[in-house]
Amino acid sequence: MHIIDSHFHWWPRSVFETLCKRRSIPRAQPNAKGCYTMFLEDGTDYILDSWPDWFDLDQQFEHMDGLRDKNGNGYHVSAVGSIGPFSVYFSALPVDEGRDLAIQWNEEMAWAQKRYPGRFWGSAAIPMQDTRVALEVLEDAVGRLGLMGVNLPGSVGKDARIDAERLHPYYARVAELGLPMFLHPTDAIFNSMLDGYDGALFLSLGRVMEVSVAASRLVLSGLMEKYPDLKVVMSHTGGALPYQSGRMDKNTKKAKLPRPTSEYLHRMYTDTVSPHAPGIQFAIDYYGIDQVMYGTDYPCWDPQTCLDLIEELNLSAADKQKLFHDNARRILNLRDPVAKSLAAE
């Protein structure tokens, strides 16, 4: 079976080598694993630390090729590359540095698309500190480089207001282009307040809180109403929002939206990244089978475990086809490269 992993992370080393040259925050440094440790601020309990599985796309696909279903059958796996928690760094840097590093990232994604045509699709890093620069990088990523979507961190650096009025023209353009926007939590907002336990509290709840708050801002600000074509892909089965949907409707009347909050949430899309079969099932029940895509958060989570949990749901063959392949094709507007004719060559 051909499956598309909609929540997959490959990081190019060149970007982190550039960040290692900085002496002030944010910065990176080599670690004992032959990779990089990233520092968004000093004195926090949890730091973003990487290991080799993030950086070798060939080995990542080799690992995917070893996946098996309950009958021992293999899969053909394609992947959509998003940034994950590192996405906030582009917006935490000074404007010019953030722009240059984002373009460097985007060029690496375009290279990977060419190396794996029809098997890997890359999404763009966007620096959000300056709206004009954000729009420039967006147009370059789509027009020159042919990337398929954009990444939206849960904050602009340490600023939680991703719904700031100044950013509305950017969201309007993303909606106009019909691009999926991958909303992923980072380590910028809740890291310091949820300290202790070697990062266990923050990783368990902090990132869930951040992505939930960020998505709520997109709704309560009126952005989802103003730009109905805005295509938001919520990571991690929607954070806490599906479970708290009724509470959102009860308490958000002061935002004066023309529709209940839950109607806007139901317009979003999500993935299967939940190490808990009932959690995956609830996401499908809440959003509907047509709006959930198979995703593994690899290499943060084991794809085989995700596949095994999905098997517990006893989905029909038609629903599996949607979840594993067809939804990603449609929602993310994925296209295979056009084959060149002999005449053209």
Residue 259: band (very low, low, confident or very high) from pLDDT cuts 50, 70, 90: very high
Supply the pTM of this predicted model. 0.94
pLDDT for residue 312: 96
Does any domain span residue 138? yes
Is the pLDDT score of 339 beyond 70? no
Amino acid 290 reads D
- Cα(327)–Cα(79) distance, rounded to whole angstroms? 13
The shares of helix, strand and coil residues in the chain, as percent rounded to the nearest 5, are 45, 15, 40
pLDDT tens across 218-258, in order?
Answer: 999 999 999 999 999 999 999 999 999 999 999 999 999 99
- Cα(162)–Cα(294) distance, rounded to whole angstroms? 26
Does any domain span residue 53? yes
pLDDT tens across 260-309, in order?
Answer: 999 999 999 999 999 999 999 999 999 999 999 999 999 999 999 999 99
The structural domain count of the chain equals: 1
Range of the domain at 297: 2-331
Give the CA count within 13 Å in the CB-facing half-sphere of 1: 20
Please tell me what DSSP assigns to residue 338.
P
pLDDT for residue 338: 58
Measure Cα distances from 70 to 1, 249, 253, 262, 307 in Å. 13, 41, 47, 36, 9
User: Mean pLDDT throughout 16-31?
Assistant: 97
Does any domain span residue 339? no
pLDDT tens across 122-164, in order?
Answer: 999 999 999 999 999 999 999 999 999 999 999 999 999 999 9
CATH code, domain carrying 231: 3.20.20.140
